[in-house]
Amino acid sequence: MRIARFSIDGNVAFGAVKGDPASGPGGTDGLVVDIIKGVPFADFELSGTKVPLDKVRLLPPVLPSKVVAIGRNYAAHAAELGNEVPAAPWAFFKPSTSVIGPGDSIVYPSFSREVHHEAELAVVIGRLCREVPRERVKDVVLGYTCANDVTARDTQQTEKQWARAKGFDSSCPLGPWIETGIGLDAAADLAITATVNGELRQAGRTGQMIHPIEDLVVSITEAMTLLPGDVILTGTPAGVGPLHPGDEVAVTIEGIGTLTNKVISRG
């Protein structure tokens, strides 16, 4: 099931996205959203009230209390930036205020002159969990969505902490929806791409991860409690590159969809 969070007529709701886009991947023609009674983190029913998807505004599919991101989880990406591959998952945070949805603008930060895209598979947590054993990881994952770990690369290189480089407002686009019909085995080998103004920049597969999803959940929950709606970013394949005001960046993940955002100047 594809679960979207959206607004219509000033109201915010969750809904199940149904249909196949007539305009191809990333399009909304032919898609409808069946409004959910309740929230997707508990038992819910479909209301049967359906609205064309192009009549609603898609929002970030969740509002996480925290986004836990994993750095250098693809060997080729670590190498392209001249970094060593960490022996264990290397986690950092992106604040909830960094999250934006599909179609929202990435605002170029005033303190940076080199902002990069990073296409990533995002894991959405479906239940409160702590110290999750590997064999139970499947039980705490609600589904998956597309993410862009937008990074002020120059700031990342000059500041020891990555809080500003990766946590600035609008640096965490998520969407367009959560796909719940993908199991852990399938999620372990999905195609992931990023384009900028239609030009292919990144092309990889989640099977290239150094530390798989199960290891990430185990490692993170050894240290902290994850809440329903929290998000784990699993790392980016090689090919990261610069974004400039006016660019349109699109992250596409096999079996999920396409997340598209434009870059604008602050002000």
pLDDT tens profile 37-82: 999 999 999 999 999 999 999 999 999 999 999 999 999 898 898 8
> What's the whole-number average pLDDT of the chain?
95
- No. of helices (H) and no. of strands (E), the chain: 6, 20
What structural domains does the chain harbor?
A: 2-58 (2.30.30.370), 67-265 (3.90.850.10)
Question: The pTM is what?
Answer: 0.96
pLDDT tens profile 216-262: 999 999 999 999 999 999 999 999 999 999 999 999 999 999 999 99
